[in-house]
Amino acid sequence: MTETAPFLFVTDLDNTLVGDRAALETLNERLKWHRYNYGSKIVYATGRSLPLYRELAQEQALLHPDALIAYVGTTIYPDPDTETADPEWSQHLSQGWEGAKITAIASNYEQLNPQPDSEQGAFKSSYFLTLEDAETVLPALKSRFAAQELEVQIIYSGGRDLDILPAKGNKGYAVQYLRQKWGFYRYNTVVCGDSGNDISLFSTEGVRGVLVGNAMPELQQWYRENANDNHYLARSRCAGGILEGLQHFGFLP
Ligand code: GLC
Ligand code: MG
């Protein structure tokens, strides 16, 4: 990797990019410089809805991204200042998505508490579920969906958040869509994350991955079970860990 080659930089927000203000400031300066001089691109991949993304962008010094992947990969905004979602991606996910059926099945489990309306996406059904209940509810839910032949995936993050998404839509797939659209090689793509909904980011072979030092147990466990030279577990937290990882892979000097 040469430090002057353009790269596709993808990062989760909560507890990955955001969480250490001083380190974020340093990282922002480096990324801004790289984007300006060499044409690197910056993408945020978050579980948040567009309104919650905008709240965060008000509170934190975030660079304007080249695209926002929101709702855990199920909506892509080419410009988060507008409400316009990438129509091709939405069209791709709409095939086979049966939101009403999913909600009906989920309502059979009292352990599933629906998240606020703002966090329900066009292709995302989200609930709160305790770690204790997850042990029994997750497998039961999976087999119910399978029995109904619903093409969905279940993502559990941080011992709290349960997302039900189309089988074809998650953060990782959304990144591959943008990567191909923009013509970046896998080895010129780096993804960063801290929790369960980031696992899909790390699942594309050849893509470089940085796990921040404060990664949640579910991601740490995945890392141990899928050891790979393309994945780097940083020592530092949040943006500090990202900087460490970008240097490790030679994206930044
Ligand atoms: C964000 C979203 C929430 C989702 C969680 C995990 O917190 O707001 O809906 O469940 O990320 O993906
Ligand atoms: Mg996170």
**Angle, to 10 degrees, between the axis of helix 87-94 and the axis of helix 171-182?**
140
pLDDT class for 2, splitting at 50, 70, 90? confident
**Phi, psi at 218, each rounded to 5°:** -65, -35
Q: Ligand 1: does its nearest atom lie under 6 Å from the Cβ of 129?
A: no
- The ligand whose atoms approach the alpha carbon of 195 most closely is 2
> Distance from the CA of 214 to the center of ligand 2, in angstroms?
10
Give mean pLDDT, residues 109-116. Answer: 98
Q: Which of 17, 119, 216 to mutate to test the pocket of ligand 1 (most atoms within 8 A of CB)?
A: 119
- Are 182 and 176 in contact by the 8 Å Cβ rule? The answer is no
7-49 confidence digits (pLDDT tens): 999 999 999 999 999 999 999 999 999 999 999 999 999 999 9
Give the position, in ligand 1's atom list, of the atom nearest the Cα of 119.
9
Give mean pLDDT, residues 134-155. Answer: 96
Residue nearest ligand 1's atom 4 by CA: 47
Cβ count within 10 A of residue 125: 23
DSSP state of 31: H
Q: Ligand 1: does its nearest atom lie under 6 Å from the Cβ of 72?
A: yes
Q: Which residues contact 25 (CB under 8 A, 6 or more apart)?
A: 61
pLDDT for the residue numbered 236: 98
> Distance from the CA of 71 to the center of ligand 1, in angstroms?
7
Give the position, in ligand 1's atom list, of the atom nearest the Cα of 49.
8
pLDDT for the residue numbered 1: 62
CA distance 237 to 243: 10
Measure CA of the first residue to CA of the last residue in the chain; give whole Å: 11
Is the pTM higher than 0.75? The answer reads yes
**Which residues are registered as beta bridge partners of 157?**
161
Show the domains of the chain with their CATH numbers: 8-86+169-249 (3.40.50.1000), 92-166 (3.90.1070.10)
CA distance 105 to 13: 31
Residue 102 is which amino acid? I
